Amino acid sequence: MIDKQILKDNYRKHFGAEEPRFFTASGRINIIGEHTDYNGGFVLPGAVDKAITMAILPNGTNYVNLVSLDYDGAALFFEIGGPQPKEQWASYFYGVIEEMRQRGATVGGFNAVFGGDVPLGAGMSSSAALESCIGTALNALFNLGFSKEELAKIGQMTEHHYIGVRCGIMDQFASIFGQKGKVVRLDCRSLEYQLVPFNPKGIEIVLIDTMVKHTLASSEYNVRRAQCEEGVAVIKKYRPEVELLRDVTMEELEAHRAEIDPVSFKRCAFVINENKRLMAACAAMEKDDFEEVGRQIYAAHEGLSKEYGVSCEELDFIVGIAHKHPEVLGARMMGGGFGGCVIALVREEGVADYIADVKKQYQEKFNKDPRVIEVEISDGAREC
């Protein structure tokens, strides 16, 4: 989390000596369950100790004045109810405000300085952290009375309507509901959830960032969603009650294979099997069988790469190295894909060797250094 004193100093520099309030919201990791959320499936994310933090106060006007430390102190203002800003980072603020207003809330103007340490482009959902931070702050500052679930939905709809990414709700839900030492088993259809203890003894979470920015992720994300919906539409002709891929079995999909585009079939098969893998991983976690959890994680990457088509050479390369290290229980790409991070579960005694081997081979292969990100499961959105 960014130092609050830095935020306070910048707030006073731009907006005067009044004491701001501080809010923070976390990025997230996801143990398993990728690209299942917008298909009504299951996910297993956790909030982490990398977050977006904000110094903020109402200003008694109808204008929002922003300073972004992540964009070299870029400053911008816009009028509530006016045109959407051209800058994407400001559009997150605009979108959250508009979604709240559409739900009947009265949001006043405010001054805010924000920044964070969620690695951008690493698949850790810095955008959801920002939306969750904004929503939590405005909810408190203007006494709006939104529930945590409503704040997660507001963040999701901000992505849909103002950013152009038809994301599921996993990222925002994890950022808001996360708790230290626990992962969130979330049913993305009903939004029922369970906070599951996650403290595997002698095992660390290792994130290795390929440093490949997933520039294709947003556009291809929407393509994958449409491909899944194509499969659902075929099944729906025979079972009208089917609304989401979550409702489709592998047997049903196979029975109608001839009616589904071959690529769309592969996408749908991945999602159905990924839900099965998540359930198997959760059952294994209850028995502290993290070797089985690791096997399911490896299988998830194989599906993401070969069936869902959202991996890339760099991600596959790092996972390939993991297979050669017995102390790595499981590794896979994490996030939207086409770049970003590999998440691995590694026995403590093997962490240093795995990281050193990845760094050496990655540099030799791609002539650049990967970034190792240390994370701990942490609390979600809150005033701090």
Q: 91 phi and psi, to 5 degrees? A: -65, -25
The predicted pLDDT at position 103 comes to 98
Tell how far CA 18 is from the center of its chain. Answer: 34
Could you tell me the mean pLDDT of each successive run of 10 residues in the chain, 384 residues long?
93 94 97 93 95 97 96 91 95 98 98 92 85 98 98 97 88 95 93 90 94 73 92 96 95 97 97 96 92 97 97 97 98 90 96 97 97 92 98
The predicted pLDDT at position 119 comes to 80
DSSP string, 151-179: HHHHHHHHIIIII-----SHHHHHHHH-B
End-to-end CA distance of the chain: 11
Q: 101 phi and psi, to 5 degrees? A: -65, -40
Inter-CA distances, 236 with 225, 229, 244, 251, Å: 16, 10, 9, 14
Sorted by where each begins, the domain ranges of the chain are 4-198, 203-374
The predicted pLDDT at position 218 comes to 65
Quick one: CA torsion of 317, 291, 178, 154, rounded to 10 degrees?
50
Cα–Cα distance, 303 to 160 (Å, whole number): 26
The predicted pLDDT at position 316 comes to 98
Q: Which helix (H) or strand (E) holds 254?
A: helix 250-255
Catalytic residue numbers read: 171
CATH fold of 4-198: Ribosomal Protein S5; domain 2 (3.30.230)
Cβ proximity of 326 and 350 under 8 Å: yes
DSSP 8-state secondary structure symbol assigned to residue 122:
S
The pTM (predicted TM-score) of the whole model is 0.87
Q: Which CATH superfamily is domain 203-374 in?
A: GHMP kinase, C-terminal domain (3.30.70.890)
The predicted pLDDT at position 214 comes to 67
* Residue (of 245, 228, 233, 230) closest to 189 by Cα position: 245
**CB burial of residue 360 (10 Å; 0-12, 13-18, 19+):** exposed
